[in-house]
Structure 1
Amino acid sequence: MSKEKTIHTEIGSYISTLIRDHFGKGPTSAYVAFARPFITIHLRGFLTPTEKVLLKQKAPNQVLKIRDLLMKDLILEIKLGLWKIGELDVKEVYADWNLDNKSGMIIAVLNEETEQKNFEWPKDVDEKTFQEEIVRASIKAQKAPGGIDVYWLNDRTVLAERTEILVAVEKELIKNGFSEELKLAKRPLERKVLAEVQLETVLKRNIAETFVEWNFDTDKAYTVFILEPKK
């Protein structure tokens, strides 16, 4: 097994075990994409018995709030674990969940510069047009981002980084302690507007899942698109 495959396997195994230890149940699979400085871990088959009960009682936001709280406690462990696996110096950790699909996404951003040479786009996909469609979606939801970069991590994973996205009312909500409520409102809205623009047309691929998470302190958002396999 190559060194690259080994580190992918070790990261997936580590994250699966960590989640199992803290949530009481782990995912059935953890698919890792790694292109410095980004690591994404796509979790599938993840829903605990307690969460199933809460979803039956129409309380998805309660599930999301609990997960967000648990993930905050796990950030230091994730940073330490990835350092032990490959001396990966993690700067930031993000997470988002799709309860309907029993899936989730963990994003780790390493403390190093982003090198464009690590991200080669397919020749049949126009990167600029793809960025323009994401900007169109951002305008529908709030406003055009101050900056946007999109990275093709591998054949199934595309990551977009947007900066300067918050509008004045959102900044006031964050300042007054309503960050969690804002995220719960923004997640479905962002997914909705991203589905309304022509991303799949540009990609010439169907998008299986979309995950979104924010760093309100730095006014930044990460969006990860999981693509369906080529037919």
Structure 2
Amino acid sequence: MEQKNITADLSNYISKMLRDNFGKGPENVYVSIGLNYITFYLKNFLSPTEKVLMQKDKENTVQETRDTVMSNLIPQIQGYIKVVTGMEINYFFYDWGLHNRSGMMVGLSSDETQTNFPVNENYKGKEQLEEEIVEISKEAQKTPENIYSCQLNPRTILIIRNGILVRIEKEIIRMGFQEHLRIAKRKLEKQLLHNNTLFNKILETKVSDVFVDWDFDVDKSVILLIMNPNKPHNP
């Protein structure tokens, strides 16, 4: 199956699944695939009930409800990805930009089941961008043990960090409070990412959305940058 047919199939599947489970699906789902990476970028995804909760400053309630629903949906999504692409998804991440009514999902597959679709590992600004992500990581927790990034298409850059948890965070996880830690890290690290003024300059284009999520069990994190290549950065 051609890549455009695969992405169209997955886009329709995710749209229907979210609509069936949240009462309203996203207006658009953009799917990007390369090697052992697959990303979903959701636009205009906020149900009427969630909109009311957001107006009443109940963002945490929306986040917690979505976390509960997603815990049931992830195995189904992983299974469908395998059927359509052959990718065995070992790690799955998601995040929401509630104020932008946007969201992302990212799947990382095993090397044995990666696709033949290419990624750009030498995109313009890569070294500077990774250095900036390291600085943000140091401010929020610590320097990552390693970092990798690639560009899946002109709109999408994926960044993977390993080894970023500090000892107190690991103890909080061991005590069973990882959801509290996730909420706190979302607030802190997303604030640092959203307030960063260098991404646009480094990539020479407008970064329109930034997402981040963690897998605490393996001390791994992904950051997804969504760019608007039609809007170049004006220094």
TM-score range, shorter chain: over 0.9
Which residue identity lines up with residue 205 of structure 1 in the other structure?
T
Once the two structures are TM-superposed, the CA of residue 91 in structure 1 deviates from its matched residue by 1.7
Could you say which residue in structure 2 is the equivalent of 1:100?
99
CA contact (8 A) 1:137 1:197 kept: no
Gaps of at least 5 residues in structure 1 are: none
Q: Percent identity?
A: 37
Q: Give the 5 Å matches for 1:105-144.
A: 105-112=104-111, 118-121=118-121, 125-144=124-143
What's the CA shift for 1:87?
Answer: 2.5
**C-alpha distance in 2 between matches for 1:51 and 1:102:** 10
Shift of 1:189: 1.6
Q: Does 1:151 align with 2:142?
A: no
Q: How far apart, in 2, do the equivalents of 1:73 and 1:60 lie?
A: 21
Q: Secondary structure at the match of 2:151?
A: strand
1:140, distance to aligned residue in structure 2 (A)? 1.3
Structure 1 window deviating more from structure 2 (157-166 vs 77-86): it is 77-86
Q: Report the 3-state secondary structure (helix = DSSP H, G, I; strand = E; otherwise coil) of the residue aligned with 2:183.
A: helix
**TM-score normalised by structure 1 residue count:** 0.92
| Mapped partners of 1:80, 1:139: distance in 2 | 36
Alignment partner, residue 164 of structure 2: 165
Amino acid at match of 2:86: E
Q: Distance in 1 between matches of 2:22 and 2:111?
A: 31
8 Å CA contact 1:136–1:197 kept in 2: the answer is no
Deviations 1:143-175, CA, capped at 9 Å, x for gaps: 111110011111000010001100111111111
**Root-mean-square deviation (Å):** 2.0
**How many residue pairs end up in the alignment?**
229
* Map of 1:226 onto structure 2: 226
Summarize deviations over 1:81-128 as a string: whole Å, max 9, x none.
Answer: 11222323222221100110111101111122679x9332566x1322
CA distance in 1, matches of 2:186, 2:209: 13
Q: TM-score, normalised by structure 2?
A: 0.91
Query: Which residue identity is paired with 1:15?
Result: I
Q: 1:20, 1:100 → 2: CA distance? A: 19
Paired residue secondary structure (2:30): strand
What corresponds to 2:214 in structure 1? 214
In structure 2, how many angstroms separate the alpha carbons of the residues matched to 1:212 and 1:42?
Answer: 13
